[in-house]
Structures are given as structure tokens and as C-alpha cells.
Structure 1
Amino acid sequence: MTLDQYLITGILLLTLFLFILNKWRYDLVAMFALVVATLLGLVKQTDMFSGFGHPAVITVAAILIISHALQYSGALEIVTNWLRRFAKHPSLQLFLLTGLVAICSGFMNNVGALALFLPVTIALAKRRKKHPGSMLMPVSFASLLGGTVTLIGTPPNIIISAYREQYVGSPFTMFDFTPLGLAVTLIGVVYLAFIGWRFLPKRDVNETTVESLATASEYMTELRIPADNKFIDRSLYRILKLCEGEEIQILSIIRGHRRILAPTQYEILHENDILVVEGQPDAIQQLLDDADLQMVDAKVDTQTLTSEDVSIIEVVVGPDSIMIGRSAVGLNLSSNYGINLMAISRRGQSIRQRLHRTILRAGDVLLLQTGEEGLGQRLEYLGCLPLATRHISLGKTRKMWTTIGIFAVAILVTSLTHLSSSLTFTAAVGALVMTKIVNLRDLYNSVEWPIIVLLGAMIPVGGALESTGTTKLIANAIIDVSHGAPIYVLLAILVVISMLLSDVINNAATAVIMAPIGASIAATLGYPIEAFLMAVCIGSSCTFLSPIGHQSNLLVMSPGGYRFSDYARMGVWLDILVVLIAVPVIMWWWM
């Protein structure tokens, strides 16, 4: 091995270790790898940011924007309402549910498809008097399977298509992935609906992800604003300033016969207003003293915290939420959004101590008290997904048929012409903006920037693996280990390695790392490059052994009450099925 090969191999191994360690976000790790590779001269300075203009990156960004528009168009709500009719036979209902999720995932972002069906899945489970955990993981896995069916279904497909263009001169077309993806998805959905869910642990339907609201009343009390108090005719902001740094929040204001629930910081206080507060006893006493308030001798019933206009709702923190890495205090949830945080559930464990200073993570389930008006827009802005079937329109209902029409035209143009997918889908985004279906705020908010940064950084690093001859070195090592084994063994090895990598690092990063290795094996042995790229593609997309491999798996962890090991209980058999199906289909179609 040359010095450059040692250096790039060291960078690759360190990057993989940091991905697995999961202490820093994957986009930061990828940028670190790119900077180090550039400083060591493995990536030219002029090529350092070339990945951000790569067609695969542009296509992924465009698809994320289009998926966002589709998600909020209202089109799929019709489908989910139809699904509720099939509640008599559990396996049939789960088959239809997972099938619909897979179909949607073939044409939109996997997480977006899952988000649409999260509340429906939980409602169906409750209607059957089953724990949501019996259905959520199959739905998550179905969203991953469905992404393998088309070019735009998942980022690995787009990346693999770009690599084929680099090696052969033409990319994969829209439906080149369909024979393999459809075979895997059909068998996978049948397994999930009729067999797979039986491997999941049986839990009581009464188990909940968040503690009962009854526990909240232990720390609630009422405080009256007496006559001549200095806060009369002042905004609530003045009292909220006194609460900063304390474990206390103001849930509502009682004014005569009127209740103002989830009050904002701009609410003007009147004489004899009663503040309903929640917090630790010492914090409440401190507020009494500082604000010169009076304790009201009454116990607060948690039923008073809901009304026709204000309600309690469970939401899950999405993978691109602005809440990630911040606390309720840091976000000023109550004053900025009119939202009170009541409880947090993380991986099935309820958090109540120092609740408002707890740093939030993707997948956390939050119990919120808030007003109904504008709830959908606030949840969309915060990046939270509701876990109940409520009449919440997440954002405005977009022009449904216009959105579908623009998307369909883009698919047809990509399929029937020689125009690149990056061009056609970018044009589709332009059409969505021109028709005001997507505004500028949505345009930027709907892009998962960590994914874009990851791809933009890892593509030049992947290029360095090739330019230094390291990919050929790794390919030869795999060939040597296989000892002249048949082609189907090599394909199976590539699928399995890609699967295992995707279970611990982002699947897009897996595709960037493994695609050049697969191409090098094919070139060395004289086999069609497409077969080996497809093996990498299907392996990268099938992330069934852990919750950290894909955002869809992480999102269902807390609502489903899953443990880390539960994923492998159902996923290992699905992995085996995928290998057994994928290898023969690849050989039949691409060899």
C-alpha cells in the first residue's frame, strides 16, 4: 500500500467509527473527513466542494422539496381515510397499510410517507385494542422497502444512478430499479403483514409512552393576582421573566368564568386573575414571594386543562426538527408558540425531572398542551409529527391536483426522455414555487440539510478512495477472500456488507463508500457493473437491524415502546429474505 492509501483508509475507518459512535451529527463528521482529506492533499482544493454541485445531491434536494409538497397536498389523506374501513382482519389490514406506505415511499421521501401514516397506524391499533408497537415497526420497514422501487424512492438509488453515469456514461432511468425493488418489496410486505409482527414482544394495550396526566396535578396550583399588585395591567412577560431558570410554567389564566389556556407572553394581567402554574414546590414558593401573589386554596383538576379550543396532544420530534439539541426553555415554547410542555418520553422512559431543561432529541415523544387554532402550522414549523388522528392540517392544504400533476409530468419526462433527473425535478420545484404551492420558507425548510451536507462532503472523499487506488485494493481483498466463489456469492457479500454498514451509519454514506468498491469488483472480474451497483443499492436501503440506521426506524421507537434489540428480532429474518430474493433477481435481470 502507498502512503496515500494508508491515509485515506485511516480517514475512512475514523469516519466510520465516528458515525457509529453517534456523538456528533453525521454531517459534521462528513465535513471533518472532507477537511482532513483536503489538508492531506488527497482531495484537491479545487474539488473540495464539488460534491455540493453533484447531480445526485441536486436531485435529492429537489425530491425532498417535492415530497414535502405532496405530503401536505391532502391527496394521501383520502387514502388513509379509506384504509380505516378494513379493520376486521388484523393481517389484511396490516398488509394494506404496509402496502400503501411502500407505494407512497416509492415516489416520495421515506420519512414523509411514514409521517402520513403514523397517526393512522396508532388509531388502527387502538381500535383493535392492540399496542401500537405491534404495527409501527412493520410500517417503518415498509417505508424503507418501498423506497427501493424507483429512482427517486431513496437517496442511495439516486447516488447509485450517478455512479453508473460516471462509469458507463448513462444513469439508471426512473424504473430501472423496479424489477429488483418490486420483488423485494412484495415479499417483504407479505412477511411484515403475516409473519414479521409476530416476532415483536407482546405488550399490554394499556401501556403508554407517556405518564398519565394525573401525575401532573401533583405539582399544579393556583395563584391569585391581588389588588394593587405591580403586575396588574402589565403583560404576562413580566412574570415569565421571574420564572426563568426555575422549574415552573404557567399553564393557564382563569379570569372570572373565562379560561385562557396556554397564554402567550403578551397577555395583559388583570386584578384577581388566577394563574394555574405547574412546578416544584420550592419554585412555586419563590414565585409567590417575588411576584407578591396569593395562593388559592384549590386543587387543579387536569380536565380543566383542556377545552374545545385547547387540548392535550402527543407528538414525536421529527428528524429535521428545530427542537433537536434545544430545550423547552431555550425554545421559549410557552411564550413564542403558546405551547406548554407536559412530559417527555424517550425510548419508553418518561422524563419529568428538570423537564424544561432536558435537551430534546429526534424520536422523543412530547406531551403538549396548546390551542387548536393554528396548531398544524406550529407543529410543521417545529418539525413535530402528531401521534393521534386529529383534524390537524399540517400547514395549508395545498392545491392537490396541481401538485400531483407537476410531479407526474416530472416522472414522465424523466422516464421517456434523455433529460437528467436533476434537471426535470429541479424544474418541477420551480413549477411548485411559480404556482405558489411551495413558498420560499417551505422551499428551504423542507430540505434535510444534514443529508445534503453529508452527500456533498462524502462524494469527494469517495472520489479520493478511487483516485488513490484504495477501492481497487478493497475490491481485490474481497475477491481474494471469496476464493473464486461463484458470482452469486460475491453479490450476496456486497449486499450483506452494505446492509451491516447501513445499520450503523447513514445509508447515503454507505452508498457513496460501497458503490466504487462494487464497481471495481465488477471491472476486475469482467462482470456487468450494473449488477454490483444494484447489490450495493439494495443493501444500503435495507436498514432493519437498528433504530439508528434510518430516521424512519428512530421515529417509531418511542411511540412503539421498542427496545434496541426489538429491531433485530423482526429485522434479521427480513434481511435474510432480501438477500435470498435480491441475488437471483439481480442475476436474472442484470447479468
Structure 2
Amino acid sequence: MTIDQYLITGILLGTLLLFIWDKWRYDIVAMLALVVATLFGLVPQDTMFDGFGHPAVITVASILVISHALQYSGALEIVANWLRRFARHPSIQIFLLTGLVAIASGFMNNVGALALFLPVTIALAKRKKAHPGSMLMPVSFASLLGGTITLIGTPPNIIISGYREKYHHEPFAMFDFMPVGLAVTVIGVIYLSFIGWRFLPKRSAEESEEKSLAAASEYMTELRIPAENKYINRSLFRILKLCEGEAVNILSIIRGQRRILAPTQYEILREDDLLVVEGQPDAIQQLIDDSGLQMIDVKIDTDELVSEDVTIIEVIVGPDSMLIGRSASGVQLSANHGVNLMAISRRGQSIRQRLHRTLIRAGDVLLLQTGEDSLGEKLEFLGCLPLATRHIALGKVRKMWTTIAIFSIAILITSFTSLSSALTFTAAVGALVVTKIVNLRDLYNSVEWPIIVLLGAMIPVGSALETTGTTELIANGIIHFSDGAPVYVLLGILIIISMLLSDVINNAATAVIMGPIGASIAATLGYPLEAFLMAVCIGASCTFLSPIGHQSNLLVMSPGGYRFSDYARMGLLLDVIVVLVAVPVIMWWWM
């Protein structure tokens, strides 16, 4: 090995360890790898940022915007709600559900497809008095399987298409992935529907029913404003300032027979008003000491905290939410957004201590009290997804057929002309903006910038693997390890390595690393390049053994009440099935 090969190998291993450690977000780690590789001269300074203009990066960004428009167009919501009328048998119901999610995921972002079906899945589970955990993981896995069907189904496909263009001067077409992807998806969906879900832990519906409300109600009480209190005839703002330091929410004001739910800071307080407050006992006691209010020993009924204008809703924190890494008090959730945080559930466990100072993570389930007015806009701004089926337009003027038409035209042009996918889908985004389906704020908010930074930074690092001869070195190591094994064994090994990497790092990073290695194996042994690139695509997209490998798996962890080991219980056999199905189909179609 040369010095450059030692250096790039060390950088790659360090990057993988930091990805697995997960202390720093993956885009920060990728940029660190790029900077270090450039400082050592492995990446030329004048091409350091060329990855951000790579066609694969542009295509991924465009697809994210289009997926956002489809998600809120109302088209798939109609299909999702149609499911409610069918199939009382669990396996048939899961089959229809996972099948529809897989189809949707083939043409839009995996997380977007999952987000559309999350509320419907939970509603169906409640309808048959089952725990949501019996259905959510199959739906998540189906969203990953469906991404293997088309070029735009998942970022690894777009990245690998770029490698084929680099080596053979022609990218994969829109539906070149379908023979292998469709076979894997169909068999995978059948497994999830009729066998896989039975491996999940059996939990009763009562374990989840009203769990968050019960946890929240334990920390609610009423405080009375006594005569001659200094806050009489003053605005609620004065007491809210006291609450900030003690992390106490004021959920409603009871004035005689009148209830003022989610009161604003401008509400004027009167003698004998009852404030329904929620918070830790010591925080409430501190508020009493500071304000001179009197505690009323009464049991709070959470049904009294909702009305036609005010609701209590469970939401899940999305992967790009502004709340991630911040606390409710830190973002001033109540004062700035008119939202009261009542409870947090993380991995099926309620967080009760220092609720408002707890740093929120992606996948957390939050119980919120807020006004029905502009509820959708609030959730979208905060980056949260509702877990209840609601008619939330999310602030969008729904131009369903226009959105579908623009997207369909882009697919047809990409499929049947020589125009690149980066060009056609960027043009489609422009059409969505011109027709005002996507406004400028949503144009930028719908792009998952950490993914874009990850790709832009890792593509030059992947190129450094090739220019230093390290990919050829690794490829020769795999060939030597296989010891003259037939090609189907090599394809299987490549899929398995890609799978295992994707279980601990982002699947796009896996594609960037494994794509050149697969290409080098094919070139060394004289096999068709496409077969080995397709193996990498399948392996990178199928991450079923952990919740950290893909955002879809993480999103269902809390509402499903899953443990880390639950993913392997259902996913391990699915991994085996994917390898057994993908290898012969790749050999039949691409060899």
C-alpha cells in the first residue's frame, strides 16, 4: 500500500466510526472527511466542492422538492383513506397497506411516503384494537423496498446511476431498476404481510391507548387567583414570564362557566380565575411561591382541554425538524408558536422529568395542545408529522392534478429522451414554483440539506478512493476472499456488505463508498458493470436491522414502541430473502 492509500483508508475508517458513533450529524462528519482529505492532497483544492454540482446531488434535491409537493397534494391521502374500507384480516390489511406504501415510495422520497401512511396505519390499528407496533415496522420496511423500483425511488439509485454514466458514459434509465427492484419488493411485501409481522413482540392496544394523556395528566393541577393578588387585572404575560424559568405550561383559564383554552399572553386575569397548569411538581410549587396563587386539589380531565377551536394532538418529530437538539423552553414553543408541550414519548417510554428542558430528538412523539386554526402550518413549520388522521391541508392550496401532471411529464421525458434526470426534474421543480404549487419558502424547506451536504462532501472523497487505487485494492481483497467463487457468490457478498454498512451509516454514503468498489470488481473479473452496480443499489437500500440506518425506521420507533432488537427480529430473515431473490434476478437480467 502507498502512503496515499493508507491515508484515504484511515480517513474512510475514521468517517465510518464517526457515522456509527452518531455524536456528530452525518453531514458534519462528511464535511470533516472532505476537509481532511483535501488538506492531505488526496482531493485537489480546485475540485473540492465539485460534488455539490454533481448531477446526482441536483437530482436528489429536485426529487425532495417534488416529493414534498406530492405529499401535500392530497393525491395519496385519497388512496390511503380508501384503505379503511377494506380487509379486516390482519395479513390482507398489511398487504394492501405495505403494497401501496411501496408503490408510492418508488416515485417519491421514502420518508414522505411513510409520513402519508403513518396516521392511516395507526388509525387502522386502533380500529381493530391492535397495538400500532404490529403494523408500523412492516410499513417502514415497505417504504425502503419500494425505493428500489425506479431511478428516483431512493438516493442510492441516483448515485449509482451517476457511476454508470462515469464508466460507460450512459446513466441508468428511469425503469432500469424495475426488474430487480420489483421482484425484491413483491417478495418482500408478501413476507412482511403474511410472515414478518408475526415476529414482532405482541403488545396489547391498551399499552398505547391514552398513554401520553395519562402521563401528562399526572402533572396537571389548578391554581386559583385569590383576592388582592397582584396579577388581578394584569395580562397573562406577567405569569408566563414566571413560567419560563420553571417550565410550566398554562393550558386553560376557567372563569365561572367559561373555559379559555390555550390562552394567549394578552388575556386579562380576573379574581377567582382558575389556571390549569402543567409541569413538574417542584416547578409548579416555585410558581405558587413566586406568584401568590393558591393550589386547588382536583383531578384534571384532559377532555376539558379540547374544544372546537383547541385540540390535543400527538405528533412525531421529523428527521429535519427545527426542534431537534433543542428544548421546548429553548424555542419558546408556547410564546412563539402558540403550542403547549404536554408530554414526550421516546422509544415507547414517557419522559416526565424536566420535560420542557429535555432536548428533543428525531422520532420523539410529542403530545401538544394548540389551536385548530392553522394547525397544519404550525406542524409543517416545526417539522412534525401528525399521528392522527386529520383533514390538515398544511397550509397548501391543493392542486392535485397539476402536481401529478408535472411529475408524470418529467418521468416520461426522462424515460424516453436523452435529457438527463437532473435537467428534467429541475425543470419540474421550476414548473411547480411557477404554478405556485410550491412557494419559495417551501422550495428550500423541503430539501433535506444534511443529505445534500453529505452527498456533496462524500462524492470527492469517493473519487479519492479511486484515484489513489484504494478501490482496486479493496476489490482485489474481496476477490481474494471469495477465492475463485462463482459470480453469484460475489454478487451476494457485495449485497451483504452494502446492507451491513447501511445499517449503521446513511444509505447514500454507502452507495458512494461501495459503488466504485463494485465497479472495480466487475472490471477486474470482466463481468458486466451493471450487475455489480445493481447489487450495490439493492444492498444500500435495504436497511432492516437497526433504527439508525434509515430515517423511516427511526420515525416508527416511538409510536410503535419498538426496541433496538425488534428490527433484527423481523429484518434478518428479510435480508436473507432479499439476497436470495436479488442475486438470481440480477444474473438473469444483467449478466
Residues 436-493 of structure 1, C-alpha deviation per residue, up to 9 Å, x if partnerless? 0000111111000110010011000001001101001001111111111111111111
> Which residue of structure 2 lines up, in the alignment, with residue 478 of structure 1?
478
Separation in structure 1 between the aligned mates of residue 561 and residue 445 of structure 2, nearest angstrom: 29
Per-residue deviation, 1:256: 3.7
CA 1:9–1:286: 2 relative to 1, 3 Å: same
CA 1:74–1:298: 2 relative to 1, 3 Å: same
> Which residue of structure 2 lines up, in the alignment, with residue 222 of structure 1?
222
> Which residue of structure 2 lines up, in the alignment, with residue 273 of structure 1?
273
Q: Which amino acid aligns with 2:199?
A: F
Separation in structure 1 between the aligned mates of residue 430 and residue 156 of structure 2, nearest angstrom: 24
> Which residue of structure 1 lines up, in the alignment, with residue 204 of structure 2?
204
For the 8 Å contact 1:209–1:345, the answer to whether it is kept is no
Per-residue deviation, 1:293: 3.1
CA 1:398–1:133: 2 relative to 1, 3 Å: same
Q: How many residues align?
A: 591
CA 1:298–1:491: 2 relative to 1, 3 Å: closer
Separation in structure 1 between the aligned mates of residue 542 and residue 81 of structure 2, nearest angstrom: 29
Per-residue deviation, 1:127: 1.3
CA 1:299–1:486: 2 relative to 1, 3 Å: closer
Separation in structure 2 between the aligned mates of residue 449 and residue 465 of structure 1, nearest angstrom: 24
Per-residue deviation, 1:287: 2.1
CA 1:563–1:219: 2 relative to 1, 3 Å: closer
> Which residue of structure 2 lines up, in the alignment, with residue 97 of structure 1?
97
* Structure 1 counterpart SS, 2:536: helix
Per-residue deviation, 1:264: 3.0
Separation in structure 1 between the aligned mates of residue 91 and residue 284 of structure 2, nearest angstrom: 51
Per-residue deviation, 1:386: 1.1
Residues 488-539 of structure 1, C-alpha deviation per residue, up to 9 Å, x if partnerless? 1111110000000000000000000000000111111111111110010110
For the 8 Å contact 1:265–1:336, the answer to whether it is kept is no
Q: Aligned ranges for residues 3-402 of structure 1 at < 5 Å?
A: 3-208=3-208, 211=211, 213-226=213-226, 229-296=229-296, 298-402=298-402
Separation in structure 1 between the aligned mates of residue 382 and residue 266 of structure 2, nearest angstrom: 21
Separation in structure 2 between the aligned mates of residue 299 and residue 505 of structure 1, nearest angstrom: 47
Separation in structure 2 between the aligned mates of residue 307 and residue 341 of structure 1, nearest angstrom: 17
> Which residue of structure 1 lines up, in the alignment, with residue 458 of structure 2?
458
* Structure 2 counterpart SS, 1:84: helix
Separation in structure 2 between the aligned mates of residue 526 and residue 244 of structure 1, nearest angstrom: 67
Residues 337-356 of structure 1, C-alpha deviation per residue, up to 9 Å, x if partnerless? 22111111111111101011
For the 8 Å contact 2:212–2:350, the answer to whether it is kept is no
Per-residue deviation, 1:241: 1.4
For the 8 Å contact 1:312–1:369, the answer to whether it is kept is yes
Residues 325-366 of structure 1, C-alpha deviation per residue, up to 9 Å, x if partnerless? 011111111112221111111111111010111101011111
For the 8 Å contact 2:67–2:112, the answer to whether it is kept is yes
> Which residue of structure 1 lines up, in the alignment, with residue 449 of structure 2?
449
Select between 50-59 and 307-316 the one with higher mean Cα deviation.
307-316
For the 8 Å contact 1:264–1:336, the answer to whether it is kept is no
Per-residue deviation, 1:298: 4.7
- Root-mean-square deviation over aligned CA pairs: 1.6
Separation in structure 1 between the aligned mates of residue 409 and residue 235 of structure 2, nearest angstrom: 53
Indicate yes or no: 2:511 matched with 1:511: yes
> Which residue of structure 2 lines up, in the alignment, with residue 522 of structure 1?
522
Indicate the percent of aligned positions where both proteins have the same amino acid: 82
Residues 276-309 of structure 1, C-alpha deviation per residue, up to 9 Å, x if partnerless? 1123344333323323334456543332212222
Separation in structure 2 between the aligned mates of residue 188 and residue 367 of structure 1, nearest angstrom: 34
Select between 290-299 and 527-536 the one with higher mean Cα deviation.
290-299
For the 8 Å contact 2:215–2:352, the answer to whether it is kept is no
For the 8 Å contact 2:52–2:452, the answer to whether it is kept is yes
Mark the runs of 5 or more structure 1 residues left unpaired by the alignment. Answer: none
> Which residue of structure 1 lines up, in the alignment, with residue 488 of structure 2?
488
Per-residue deviation, 1:216: 3.6
> Which residue of structure 2 lines up, in the alignment, with residue 2 of structure 1?
2
Per-residue deviation, 1:272: 4.2
For the 8 Å contact 1:209–1:365, the answer to whether it is kept is no
For the 8 Å contact 1:226–1:293, the answer to whether it is kept is yes
> Which residue of structure 2 lines up, in the alignment, with residue 583 of structure 1?
583
For the 8 Å contact 1:433–1:439, the answer to whether it is kept is yes
CA 1:452–1:215: 2 relative to 1, 3 Å: closer
Q: TM-score, normalised by structure 2?
A: 0.97
* Structure 1 counterpart SS, 2:122: helix
For the 8 Å contact 2:126–2:205, the answer to whether it is kept is yes
* Structure 1 counterpart SS, 2:418: coil
* Structure 2 counterpart SS, 1:410: helix
Per-residue deviation, 1:229: 4.6
> Which residue of structure 1 lines up, in the alignment, with residue 437 of structure 2?
437
For the 8 Å contact 1:263–1:334, the answer to whether it is kept is no
For the 8 Å contact 1:69–1:398, the answer to whether it is kept is no
Separation in structure 2 between the aligned mates of residue 43 and residue 269 of structure 1, nearest angstrom: 65
Separation in structure 1 between the aligned mates of residue 104 and residue 286 of structure 2, nearest angstrom: 53
Residues 68-110 of structure 1, C-alpha deviation per residue, up to 9 Å, x if partnerless? 0000001111101211111322211111110000000000000
Separation in structure 2 between the aligned mates of residue 25 and residue 386 of structure 1, nearest angstrom: 25
Per-residue deviation, 1:210: 7.0
Separation in structure 1 between the aligned mates of residue 224 and residue 589 of structure 2, nearest angstrom: 76
For the 8 Å contact 2:227–2:272, the answer to whether it is kept is yes
Separation in structure 1 between the aligned mates of residue 518 and residue 209 of structure 2, nearest angstrom: 43
Separation in structure 2 between the aligned mates of residue 439 and residue 357 of structure 1, nearest angstrom: 34
Per-residue deviation, 1:318: 0.8
* Structure 1 counterpart SS, 2:85: coil
For the 8 Å contact 1:547–1:564, the answer to whether it is kept is yes
For the 8 Å contact 1:42–1:464, the answer to whether it is kept is yes
For the 8 Å contact 1:262–1:334, the answer to whether it is kept is no
* Structure 1 counterpart SS, 2:366: strand
Q: Which amino acid aligns with 1:328?
A: A
Separation in structure 1 between the aligned mates of residue 479 and residue 49 of structure 2, nearest angstrom: 33
Q: Which amino acid aligns with 2:83?
A: L
Select between 89-98 and 431-440 the one with higher mean Cα deviation.
89-98
* Structure 1 counterpart SS, 2:31: helix
